[in-house]
A and B are shown apart, each in its own frame.
Chain A
Amino acid sequence: MISDTQLKQLVEAAIFAAEEPVTLDQLLGGVLSQFSLNKPRVRQVLDQLQEDYRERGVQLVEVASGFRFQTRADLGPALVHMWPERTPKYSAALLETLALIAWQQPTTRGEIEAIRGVSVSTQIMRTLQERGWVKVVGHKEVPGRPALFATTKEFLDYFSLQSVADLPALVEPTEPDTRERDTNEV
């Protein structure tokens, strides 16, 4: 048996100590495996922890890969001074390309160009792949077999998203004909 206080402490410590975000299932199958606990109970503990941290400089958030502690978003402008050399700034072209892939995925370079009206810069695609936000998930069965790009969990984590649906603009359904064709191939 584990008391509520101990359980809360253990969950908090496990998420803090983990290198990567931790999912509820990982908690249940890992640090909590010896105490027969059910999902709702752990979920409740996570909710309480989130509430406890609401007003703090560090917060417990759920992203695509699970739960993690991170600093408050509104402290960012001050905190970046701790690392003056790395304040990434992404161009409108890069963000548009990323949003487009998130929206139309899996999608090809040609499809990206058709919508944006400009040729896709190799540099942008390389940056997106180096950052691990976009990856090739297959090839479209048309002449030339162009690569099909999709967004990754790392992308969602980086932008504090749980899914692409968290961006309201991109929730609109795509045209059904192209969508169906694309998903069949992957």
Chain B
Amino acid sequence: MSSDFALQQEQQSLPLGFVRGEPVFERPDDLYIPPEALELMLEAFSGPMDLLLYLIRRQKMDILDLPILPITKQYMEYVELMRELKLELAADYLVMAAMLAEIKSRLLLPKPPSAEEEEADPRAELIRRLQAYEVVREGAHQLDQQPQQERDFFPAHADTNAHELAVQEPPPVSVAELSLALARVMQLVKAQRHHQVKREALSTRERMSQILERLSEAPQVDFVQLFNVTEGKAGVVVSFLAILELNKEGLIRIVQAEAYSVLYVSRQAEAVEQGI
């Protein structure tokens, strides 16, 4: 399997394939690395902590006895090499170099006899960070070993026709709901009231037909859409009566997905066809 092979290669090119201090593969002991190889190696380091950890491990040292002098020397040699190669050096690497240099000089300076006991080991902070970083790196390694979706496994699904059988029975609409819906329409009318010029004779039955006609165009219509607010209060009342009458005669159906939501009106025939 070619991708399996590629994965192995990828793992080998990682310079820090260590398990609890044991290197997974050999590295040259001396510092000299051909420039091209160094470039590749530096690509593989995820940051200065990674490089530092690699240097410590290469010396087979414990983080706790951080050998600051040789490590600083080696670290600086790497940084110098990177400069010679004109690699765009991330500022983070220089920050670490400065930190190492500071610790080194503090270790070299003679301590005033009085302050000797209070002064903490200047390496302590770096050791703490190295330990934390080591946990993270190991965590990332374990994460990478986990079966990973889209790489190692794919969720499996089976198709089902069950949803075709699922019948959704809308809850019955109460009279209170109906009057609330009417009140909302009436509010719309209020805003239009002054436009009313003359009173028209309105027929409830005619309105019933109009509504049915309207409902034959669309299977389901929003309750509010069945009213023409420009007709004023009287028109709304007629429409409402028409709807109630149609409902009573079993020609239409008023449904609602849940309490206080939008009311929908549909033709009874349509409702039967759809299996609502």
Instruction: Report A's interface with B, CB cutoff 8 A.
Output: 13, 16-19, 58, 68-81, 83, 86-93, 95-96, 98-100, 102-103, 114-119, 157-161, 166-170, 172
How far, in whole Å, are A117 and B134 apart by their CA atoms in the complex?
A: 12
Choose among A68, A74, A75, A170 the residue with the greatest number of B CB atoms under 10 Å from its CB: A170
- Residues of A close to B156: CB separation below 8 A: 16, 58, 68-71
Name which residue of chain B comes closest to A69, CB basis: B156
Instruction: Find out whether the CB atom of B143 lies under 8 angstroms from the CB atom of A160.
Output: no
Can you name 27 A-B residue pairings with CB atoms under 8 Å? A16-B158, A17-B157, A17-B158, A17-B159, A19-B157, A69-B156, A70-B154, A71-B156, A74-B152, A76-B148, A77-B3, A88-B151, A95-B141, A96-B136, A96-B139, A96-B140, A99-B136, A114-B129, A115-B136, A116-B46, A116-B47, A117-B48, A117-B133, A160-B146, A160-B149, A167-B139, A169-B141
B168 on interface, CB distance cutoff 8 Å: no
Within 8 Å by CB of A118, from B46, B147, B158, lies B46
Instruction: Find out whether the CB atom of A103 lies under 8 angstroms from the CB atom of B136.
Output: yes
Beyond A17-B160, A117-B95, list 16 extra A-B contacts (CB 8 Å): A68-B155, A70-B156, A76-B152, A77-B1, A80-B150, A86-B150, A91-B46, A95-B144, A96-B46, A98-B140, A100-B136, A118-B49, A159-B146, A159-B148, A160-B147, A169-B142
Task: Give the Cβ gap from A65 to chain B, nearest Cβ, in Å.
Answer: 11
How far, in whole Å, are A13 and B161 apart by their CA atoms in the complex?
A: 12
Instruction: Report B's interface with A, CB cutoff 8 A.
Output: 1, 3-4, 7, 14, 44, 46-50, 52, 90-92, 95-96, 129, 132-133, 135-144, 146-160, 162
Choose among B4, B140, B162 the residue with the greatest number of A CB atoms under 10 Å from its CB: B140
Known: A17-B160, A116-B49, A118-B48. A73 touches B140 (CB 8 A): no
User: What does DSSP make chain A's interface, helix, strand, loop or mixed?
Assistant: helix
Task: Give the Cβ gap from B136 to chain A, nearest Cβ, in Å.
Answer: 5
- Residues of A close to B138: CB separation below 8 A: 169
How far, in whole Å, are A77 and B4 apart by their CA atoms in the complex?
A: 6
Instruction: Find out whether the CB atom of A118 lies under 8 angstroms from the CB atom of B47.
Output: yes
Instruction: Find out whether the CB atom of B158 lies under 8 angstroms from the CB atom of A95.
Output: no
Known: A96-B46, A167-B139. A78 touches B154 (CB 8 A): no
- Residues of B close to A102: CB separation below 8 A: 139, 143
How far, in whole Å, are A72 and B154 apart by their CA atoms in the complex?
A: 8
Instruction: Find out whether the CB atom of A158 lies under 8 angstroms from the CB atom of B143.
Output: no
